[in-house]
Structure 1
Amino acid sequence: MSLWSNLALGFLYLSPLVSVVSMFAQGLSTAGPPSMFWIIIVGCGQLLVALVFSEVVAQYPIAGGLYQWARRLWNGQYAWLLSWIYLSCVIVAIATTAIFGSGFVANLFVGTKEHPVVAITPGMTACVAAGMLLLGMILNFTGTKTLARIAGAGLAAELLGVIAVGLYLLIFERKHSFSVFFDTMGTSINGNYMPAFIGAALVGLFMVYGFEACGEVAEEVPNPGRQIPKAMMLTVVVGCGSAIFSFAGYVLAAPDLTLIVAGKVLDPIPEILYHTIGFWGLKAFQAVALLSFLACVMGQQASASRLVYSFARDNMFPGSAVFAKMMNHTPVWANVAVNSLSALLIVLVYCVPSSLFRIAGMQMLAGYIAFQMVVIAALRARAKGRKPAGSFSLGKWGLAVNVGALIYGIFACVVMAMPSNDMSLSTLDRWIALVGIAVVVVTGGLYLLIARPHLRSSAPEGDAVEFADMIRAKAHETHIAKAQLAKRERAEATV
């Protein structure tokens, strides 16, 4: 994978087009236009996390990403639990991305000029989502080059769809002033806006993740210690900028903004596009969205399958002998297992349609907890004397950035774990994200205690300090050798 392809993988996992399409109506109906500011808040916090990850991946450019980083920074047990939590996040993400995209994909083929936006039944949603999973899985079977090509094409299409459409809406179709982003439009709860604003946090939290996928395929990237940190940081910066641009364009061009905030327009973006760029413009955008959603699903499948493969390669996963096998340079059986579980979640949402946003909330909380476990491990290793020795280092700013990333991450996790403001829901439904995480942690913890997979592996662990010292020592030896060689060459030239 080139830098462009690696950036594309992370960008399409983050996917501003996919995330804006998925969360636009939810954000506006919860907290009105100011919900857009969550993209900025989360983007700044996640950039700190990406900087911490960049230091670690520069030292350990190994397939498996978070699992390998945690293993080397702490130990096998810690890495097992972190990866179990993160894997649950990605498996759910594959399903939710396919489900959120099913409406756009279906309307590309069934929408007519008389009825450009057709209400999609739960059955059609499940079939389209399952079809996207199957197609993405088959394409992933063909190898890294196919993934790289589709990711690159998806990135170009997504930037075109986000920037071109957003620019057109802002210049030619603006129906509201920019002051609308400071108008809560009656979304306050009992006269207090803060609970509503906190409730819209998923707008940003759902968008700004996926940059870690750049490190999941580290062994498929040339010069990964330099390339992957660049790709991670560009993913966050370009992704957030594109998402803000897109979100703002839709808000300012919405002809029925009041109805959207009131929750009376369930799928507003196709309606906005139809009234601004016309039927064929809407079709072109839906085609771009199809490519973006498919590329996003493929990126998530690649990330999850590489994590399972890395787990299994270290003999740390149930069925390691099967999931560590490679075919056509890809972990085929790991891919099949991951997608089978995601397919079961699609069946769950088909049976209980109201569960979609609840499992999405659990998905995000799992991902952010896993992120913070890496941040904590990096901070612990730094306290024990680790001085990052990879191609990328924050230098004297490392400690401050690490602490800042931890503070932000704790804040994000607390926000996501808070109960829903909808008092009509049952207690279980209001706390569903925390309950889901508890189930994941308990099952992973029991397997760790009973099966003790960390004892079956001889892979390196907990060597962050020693490994960094070794890299610096080798770099010093290389520098001295080069200096001596240059000195001899100068002496010979003089003679």
Structure 2
Amino acid sequence: MVDHVSRRESPAEEQAPSGQDDASQLEALGYRSEFRREMSLWANFSLGFTYLSPVVGIYTLFGFALATAGPPMIWTLLIVGLGQLLVALVFGEVVSQYPLAGGVYPWARRLWGKRWAWLNGWVYMIALLVTIASVAYGSGPYASMLFGLESGTGNTILCALLVLLVATVINLGGTRTLGIAAIIGFGMEILGALAVGGWLLLSERHHGLGVLFQDFGSGGGGSYFTAFLAAGLIGIFQYYGFEACGDVAEEVPNPSRRIPKSMRMTIYVGGFAATFVCLALVLAVPDFGAVISGKDADPVSTVLGAAFGTAGSKVVLLVVLVSFLSCALSLQAAASRLIYSYARDEMLPGSAVFSRFSARQHVPPYALLTAAVVPALVVLASRLSEDATERIVSFAVLGIYLGFQMVVFAALRARLKGWSPSGPFSLGRWGLPVNVLALLYGIAAIVNLVWPRTPEAPWYDNYLTALSGAVVVGAGLILLVTTRPYGRSQAPAGDAIPQRPERTAARE
């Protein structure tokens, strides 16, 4: 459908225009960039892929999803993948017209206005920073297994801080270094996913495809549909990252054409890799009953240990650890561009600092350091209380989805008020129905994320995700009303909607 509804791109059009053309396009949008356009189409796609990271997503929640809904949980990957493809198509139209660094914040700014954009950026910025912390922290157990260390809070924190340090050093190397690291991360992760999945299917398969339609008594005796929705968190956790392709829009030649394509490639390739790995793991689990009952609490380690032995498992763990590092690297790059974009428009305290560039590497060093220090503090909080870290991180995925849907809603509002996407990538007459479906999907995913599922727990734990979201959004609204952080910003806003002749004042 995408190739049919998007504007056709000839080979000549696909070639990047001159740097002057890109600079002229950016200047027409009201900006002059200090970034270097050194990120190729493949590097841009690799950035989105490593942010989405099939290995990180599947390995992190495979045990939970299988125990909750049994093998049919794999179908949630296809359902969520389709929903997120709709979101990616909407984003593609927006970034094609507004190829600006920072992703959701500048998109929301041009589609709606300064106030909406500030709140959108606030929610997404907090979500990105805590997601970086959760990915870095999640690498700890795998590092402990790889190096034969005792798995505990101290070693997990140490590993997480090392991951953050390495990611920061690579990001400070500049756009070209980031692109090379993303391509290497993509290569290792996709080859590792295919190799591990292929070996499991060839040598460790214990079941046929029929098990994908059997629940094996999962669901806890209640409604299986409810259990299936809960297991769907593996898909919801998996399918984001494609927006990172747009976060670095000012570092990509010919971004209006290349970035929408990179976003779609991220969904296609990342979705295939995630589903392939999940399928291989499901068919290699020897005893579903043991996983569902909790007797086998870590089926991934069980399968990998049986399939590869001690030496082989070390190689697999190395690939997994590289995947965690690549994911943290891409997340940090996205967060730093968002912070920079905010600061460039004078929407943050200390904007002059956060928008400052390195004269040598042409990246915003202080924005990058913020995207390292804040996640490090979240990681260190686990030393005081693992529950505290859990409460902070619980907002991460919800915040990502809220940030996405604020843009999708802004695009729908703008479309109904007369916005007609004018970038090279356009859905044409399909734009409105795709936009509506993307919004409906996003609302359903958010409801699924916040739905209380532990009635035996204290009420504040049962509603933890919803409460964390309310706190972050509420704090943002309070800051928005009391401090008016958008007050000094003079950058263009709300211009996607055609202005009525009688309206001469800039939209806010």
TM-score, normalised to structure 1, is 0.90
Match for residue 222 of structure 2?
191
- Does the CA contact (< 8 Å) of 1:36 and 1:244 recur in 2? yes
Aligned residue in 2 for 1:454:
486
- Distance, in Å, in 2 between the alignment partners of 1:298 and 1:254 is 31
Which of 134, 138, 145 is residue 107 of structure 1 equivalent to? 145
Match in the other structure for 2:101: 63
| Distance (Å, rounded) in 2 between the aligned partners of 1:355 and 1:16 | 27
**Paired residues for 1:34-49 under 5 Å:** 34-49=72-87
1:289 to 320, 328, 353: 320
Tell me which of 352, 355, 375 is aligned to 2:385: 352
Q: Residue deviations 1:269-325, cap 9 Å, x none?
A: 232112112222211111111211111101000000110000001000121111111
Distance 1:186 1:347 in 2: 40
CA distance 1:75–1:244, change in 2 (3 Å): same
Report the counterpart of residue 300 of structure 1 in structure 2.
331
How far off is 1:353 after superposition? Answer: 3.2
CA contact (8 A) 1:417 1:431 kept: yes
Asked if 2 retains the 8 angstrom alpha-carbon contact of 1:189 and 1:195, the reply is no
| CA shift for structure 1 position 158 | 0.6
Matched, 1:19 2:57: yes
Q: Deviations over 1:431-486 (max 9, x none)?
A: 0111111111111111111221212000000001349xxxxxxxxxxxxxxxxxxx
Tell me the TM-score normalized by structure 2.
0.88
2:497 to 461, 465, 472: 465
Q: Give the AA of the match of 2:214.
A: D
Match of 2:185 in 1: 154
Map 1:153-302 onto structure 2 (within 5 A): 153-302=184-333
Match of 1:78 in 2: 116
> If each structure's helix is expressed as a fraction of its own residues, which one has the higher value?
1
Question: Which of 408, 427, 440 is 1:407 aligned to?
Answer: 440
Report the Cα distance in structure 1 between the residues aligned to 2:180 and 2:430, rounded to whole angstroms: 36
Deviation of 1:75 after TM superposition, in Å, equals 0.2
Residue of 318, 334, 351 corresponding to 2:349 = 318
| Contact 1:359 1:433 (C-alpha < 8 Å) held by counterparts | no
Q: 1:180 to 1:330 in 2, by over 3 A?
A: same
Structure 1 counterpart of 2:203, one-letter code: F
Deviation of 1:36 after TM superposition, in Å, equals: 1.6
> What's the C-alpha RMSD, in Å, of the aligned pairs?
1.6
> What amino acid does structure 1 have at the position aligned with 2:462?
R
**Larger displacement relative to structure 2 (338-347 or 264-273):** 264-273
Query: Shift of residue 80 of structure 1?
Result: 0.3
Structure 1, residues 120-166: CA drift from partner, whole Å, max 9, x if none?
11111111111111111122111111111110001011111111211
Deviation at residue 356 of structure 1 after TM alignment: 6.0
Once the 2 structures are TM-superposed, how far is the Cα of residue 326 of structure 1 from its aligned partner? 1.1
Question: Do the aligned residues in 2 keep the contact of 1:62 with 1:68 (CA within 8 Å)?
Answer: yes
Q: Hey, what does 2:26 align to over in structure 1?
A: none
Is residue 431 from structure 1 mapped to residue 463 from structure 2 by the alignment?
yes
Paired letter, 1:429: D
**Cα pair 2:379 2:389 within 8 Å, conserved:** no
Query: CA 1:430–1:134 in 2, change beyond 3 Å: closer, same or farther?
Result: same
Runs of 5+ consecutive residues of structure 2 not aligned to the other structure:
1-38, 500-508
Q: Which moved more, 1:346-355 or 1:83-92?
A: 346-355
Offset of residue 359 of structure 1: 4.5
Q: Which has the larger radius of gyration?
A: 1
- 1:133 lines up with 2:159 in the alignment: no
Identity of aligned residues (%): 46
When residues 345 and 206 of structure 1 are mapped into structure 2, their CA distance, relative to the original with a 3 A threshold, is same
- 1:381 maps to 414
Secondary structure at the aligned position of 2:422 is classed as coil
Residues in 2 aligned to 1:357 and 1:207: alpha-carbon distance in whole angstroms: 19
What residue identity is the alignment partner of 1:6? Answer: N
Structure 1 unaligned runs (5+)?
111-117, 468-495
